[in-house]
Structure 1
Amino acid sequence: MNNIFYIIGICSLVLLQGCKDFLTVDLPKDQLNRANVFTDKSTAHTALNGMYGLTQQFGGGRMFTGGLTIYPGMYADELYYFTASNRDEFLESNLTQQNDGTLAAFWIEGYQYIYAANSCIEGALDSNLDEGVKNTIIGEAYFMRSLVYYYLTELFGDVPLVLSTDYRKSGTMARAAKQDVVKKILTDLQDASHLLEAEYRDGVKNSPNRYAVQALAARVALQNGEDQLAFDHADAIIRSDIYELESELSKVFLRESKETIFQLTRINQLFNTWESTFFVPANSSSSPAYVLQQDLVHSFAPTDKRRSAWIEGRLYSGEQLYHPTKYKARTTVLTEDYVLFRLAEQYLIRAEAALRLDRPDLAIVDLNKIRSRSGLEKLALDTLVADLWKLLLTERRQELFAELGYRWFDLKRLGKADEVLGALKPKWKSTAVHWMIPWSQIRKNPLLTQNEGYE
């Protein structure tokens, strides 16, 4: 792990100089001269934009370039890779050292994003910038660091909690308990919500505002049993009236979607999103690379508009295949951005939190919002709580399929991983709820330990 912090200060400097590659080099600790970056609003905002741009620099199948969708999707019960490969261990939820490179990419690049965020925080704190600009930098960097830690803890469990750019210390840090990392995430997000404004920094949704922070806080809180906190954050977003559900499902993932709370934009602009390249066949005679599990496809009601809008079938070599079409555009004409937070999730978060808080009446209202948009009948106000729980899981599965690992995280949160995946995967073990810590990182850091089940 220690080598991942020997990078050129913050990614924004690399991007600012027009370099397309993120370089990994050995640098003395004083190589990064923050005084040259955090001198004024313009260069400081360039640093922030570079922090987000870094997420798109490493190619497809990484944390924020489709990897959070395809690998947890296979690990759960959503996707499979059409051609047999070393991805089969993900499909079987049986990770081995053969998968070390894929896992290390999540780990290493995750900490590079964290390093970039830490560098922005330290640079802002050491600067003479206007207080408003300083607040923006720190708030956005808190958001980004928290977002990455959320995914690292959901994938790996306990992880090192790195809060500075001192790579000599962080390179030999032990894993912190997941609950301690989550506590830090929620604290940072609370601070960020006060530091950021409701308006987007540049008027577009590829930098977080206050409600993007609350969307992440709602997701983290729900996943970790903070039900009232999850409800309150989701409620604030919904009541803000800044966002609204798109009535037409074909518009949900467009760049100008009214539903989007936060999105990432491609840098090289050769195509729209990595998701579209993974899921949409290259031409009329080719197969999709990643295919939906038949059980998921057939779980939709005949009248569910999501089935026709977001799933496409194709007969290939005599086999009927289905692939996601939430992202549709493979062209260089940019019409879609990579959506990380959208309003529909917040309705589902508020509904689940309401159920946990013994307010099924509120849960029904929110579930009906999603169901009505999908062309389904509204739930009756006297629907039994036990039935609401089943319907909630179904709605989350069908609304959020093939997006950012939602299904995998849902199965873990609701204690259904053993039940669902144990019946589906012969090699399933309860310890598989956490991914294997990359052995390559354990060899570099003697204080790192392996998760149970991978010794």
Structure 2
Amino acid sequence: MKNIVNYKMILLVLLLAFTSCADDFLEEPAPTEGVSEDVVFGSREGVEAYISGINRRARGQFTSVDASGLNSLFFARTIKGNDLIHGSSWWSFDYANDNREPTYRRTVFNWEFPYFMINQANTLINGIEDSDLSEVDKRELSGQGQALRAFYYFQLAMEYQHTYSYDSSLPAPPIYTELSLEGNPMSSLEELYAFIVDDLTEAVDKLSSDRLGKSYINKQVASGILANVYLVMGNWAGAERAANLAYDGDLAGSLDPSSYGDGFADINNPEWLWGNPQTGDQSAYYYVAPSAFMDPITPAYNNIFVNENFYNLFSETDARNTFRVSSTLTDYRKVTSTKFVFAFDSDIVVMRKPEMILVEAEAKFRQGDENGARTLLYALQKNRDPEAVASNNTGVALEEEILIERRKELYGECGVEWFDAKRLQRGMPRTSNHRITLSNNPIVPNDKRFFLKIPLTEIDANDNIDLSVNANR
């Protein structure tokens, strides 16, 4: 496992190097070039500074514009669907759903970036365990590490195999819990999801609602991650409980329709559960924030447009109707959105409370509580649109209404259309107004284009994985 080993070796050097930057590390929580293990794990402040460094890596440029931080994972999923349309430049291969071969940048990045973050989390967890910190500090800080580790393993599970309910015995990415100089064999989806759930349930138990800021994981964020994992696994009761805990069951305090006019650029937005903050000296420039691609006004890439059919799902009085319709263009460029406003210090959303409300609504529906599902759904709809009318839908019609509401609420954020199509074993057809329609090769249920092949760099370097891993993929 050449790539993982290299990152681990670098990390070991960073942690074991005794340098004069210890004070700077504690005063300015950011990655440094050499900090002793004693400094990092010798105090709660040292560990928190290390976690801050991990968080910063989530929003930094990893290799390129479309292979930067966490948002590159999410935005690649977003642009594979039907609701948004890609114009040109970055993300073109993702948009074409033609970016999954073992040597391609998307395939390599989506493997290496999560494993890099997992290595950081493993170092965090193991360093805390071996430290002299108080048991109270160990418990809370290791809980953050476990939630981070589980979150990135969840991304790997989603990216490199069919969904869990398709066949949980299928091979899945290897599991690591400590620094290793030897590559592990592939796991199975069943093993990987069991590991993820164990990490997250422990994290939820260990963590409190307190945290240093919204870029850090607390009990609510860990519960939100678990809610999405349970959605994929079909554990509806678990998803309902976890989602409700994530937003504290507080509908009124979780919804702020006026924030849709703020450009989704401020982590202090009361709807945000988890985000990545930007500052002038740590700017993402043009390569991380979705606003750099979607904002049609501020000079950036401006290369993402809105499917007119999706735009037509929104009423004029819906606060989420951030769309601009051209009076001159008639092709795929006709509709754009100002949901995301670009600036060099625009914060990046990762998880919001409305998502959790909709997870809870879907989970109630799956368990036969249609009245409960409609109540939650209408509470969100009425908050967004004062003219909304309560639905009387049942059965399949109610299911579709919930899924459409998820798309309307979360477009451009986390790839919800792709996520739902994959986990529910649906297709992802495109309408004819797309620049690339995929009409000759549509995305069908359980299409192999929902997951990537294992990178060749991994196969070449890991003695426990060979070329056969990509057979029939």
Counterparts of 1:416-455 in structure 2, within 5 Å, are 416-417=426-427, 424-428=438-442, 430-448=447-465, 449-451=468-470, 453-454=472-473
Is contact 1:142-1:189 (8 Å) kept? yes
Distance apart, 1:141 and its partner CA: 0.6
Is contact 1:218-1:234 (8 Å) kept? yes
Q: Does 1:328 align with 2:341?
A: yes
Cα distance change on mapping 1:126 and 1:250 into 2, 3 Å: same
Counterparts of 1:252-401 in structure 2, within 5 Å, are 254-266=266-278, 268-270=281-283, 274-281=289-296, 283=298, 288-308=302-322, 311-313=323-325, 320-331=333-344, 334=345, 336-375=346-385, 376-380=387-391, 382-401=392-411
Is contact 1:287-1:316 (8 Å) kept? no
Cα distance change on mapping 1:92 and 1:126 into 2, 3 Å: same
Q: What CA distance in whole angstroms lies between the structure 2 residues aligned with 1:98 and 1:190?
A: 33
Number of the residue aligned with 1:159: 173
Deviations 1:85-144 (A, max 9, x none): 7x4442232335496122211211111100000000000000001122212220111111
Distance apart, 1:318 and its partner CA: 7.4
Deviations 1:375-402 (A, max 9, x none): 152324x432222111111101111111
SS in 2 for 1:62: coil
Q: What CA distance in whole angstroms lies between the structure 1 residues aligned with 2:439 and 2:454?
A: 21
Deviations 1:400-442 (A, max 9, x none): 1111221101011222126669985423462222122222322
Q: What CA distance in whole angstroms lies between the structure 1 residues aligned with 2:470 and 2:305?
A: 30
Number of the residue aligned with 1:9: 11
Give the residue type in structure 2 aligned to 1:69. Answer: F
SS in 1 for 2:71: helix
Number of the residue aligned with 2:184: 173
Distance apart, 1:146 and its partner CA: 0.9
Distance apart, 1:262 and its partner CA: 1.3
SS in 2 for 1:160: coil
Counterparts of 1:186-201 in structure 2, within 5 Å, are 186-200=197-211
Give the residue type in structure 1 aligned to 2:458. Answer: Q
Q: Does 1:47 align with 2:50?
A: yes
Q: 2:82 aligns with which of 74, 77, 81?
A: 77
Distance apart, 1:293 and its partner CA: 3.0
Q: Indicate the larger mover: 35-44 or 298-307.
A: 298-307
Is contact 2:86-2:303 (8 Å) kept? yes
Give the residue type in structure 1 aligned to 2:39. Answer: N
Distance apart, 1:362 and its partner CA: 0.6
SS in 1 for 2:305: strand
Q: What CA distance in whole angstroms lies between the structure 1 residues aligned with 2:30 and 2:186?
A: 32
Give the residue type in structure 2 aligned to 1:9. Answer: L
Deviations 1:275-324 (A, max 9, x none): 2222224647x87122233332233334433123xx34457987544344
Distance apart, 1:253 and its partner CA: 5.2
Distance apart, 1:176 and its partner CA: 1.1
Is contact 1:278-1:289 (8 Å) kept? yes
Counterparts of 1:57-136 in structure 2, within 5 Å, are 57-58=60-61, 60-62=65-67, 64-83=69-88, 87-95=91-99, 97=101, 100-136=104-140
Distance apart, 1:64 and its partner CA: 3.4
SS in 1 for 2:406: helix
Give structure 1 stretches of 5+ with no counterpart. 24-30
Distance apart, 1:84 and its partner CA: 5.9
SS in 2 for 1:417: coil
| TM-score, structure 1 normalization | 0.85
Cα distance change on mapping 1:421 and 1:134 into 2, 3 Å: farther
Q: What CA distance in whole angstroms lies between the structure 1 residues aligned with 2:453 and 2:439?
A: 18
Give structure 2 stretches of 5+ with no counterpart. 16-20, 162-171
Is contact 1:70-1:290 (8 Å) kept? no
Q: Does 1:245 align with 2:255?
A: yes
Q: What CA distance in whole angstroms lies between the structure 1 residues aligned with 2:470 and 2:430?
A: 22
Cα distance change on mapping 1:32 and 1:119 into 2, 3 Å: farther
Cα distance change on mapping 1:217 and 1:287 into 2, 3 Å: closer
Distance apart, 1:352 and its partner CA: 0.5
Q: What CA distance in whole angstroms lies between the structure 2 residues aligned with 1:253 and 1:283?
A: 13
Q: Does 1:226 align with 2:213?
A: no
Is contact 1:234-1:349 (8 Å) kept? yes
Q: What CA distance in whole angstroms lies between the structure 2 residues aligned with 1:386 and 1:162?
A: 41
Give the residue type in structure 1 aligned to 2:84. Answer: L
Cα distance change on mapping 1:390 and 1:304 into 2, 3 Å: same
Give the residue type in structure 2 aligned to 1:47. Answer: Y
Aligned residues: CA RMSD: 3.2
- May I ask how many residue pairs the two structures share in their alignment? 434
Give the residue type in structure 2 aligned to 1:225. Answer: G
Give the residue type in structure 2 aligned to 1:4. Answer: I
Give the residue type in structure 1 aligned to 2:289. Answer: W
Number of the residue aligned with 1:212: 221
Is contact 2:276-2:349 (8 Å) kept? yes
Is contact 2:14-2:36 (8 Å) kept? no
Q: What CA distance in whole angstroms lies between the structure 2 residues aligned with 1:299 and 1:12?
A: 51
Deviations 1:157-212 (A, max 9, x none): 2111111112x12xx22221122111111111111112111122x2x211111111
Is contact 2:207-2:219 (8 Å) kept? yes
Q: What CA distance in whole angstroms lies between the structure 2 residues aligned with 1:11 and 1:49?
A: 19
Is contact 2:25-2:32 (8 Å) kept? no
| TM-score, structure 2 normalization | 0.82
SS in 1 for 2:187: coil
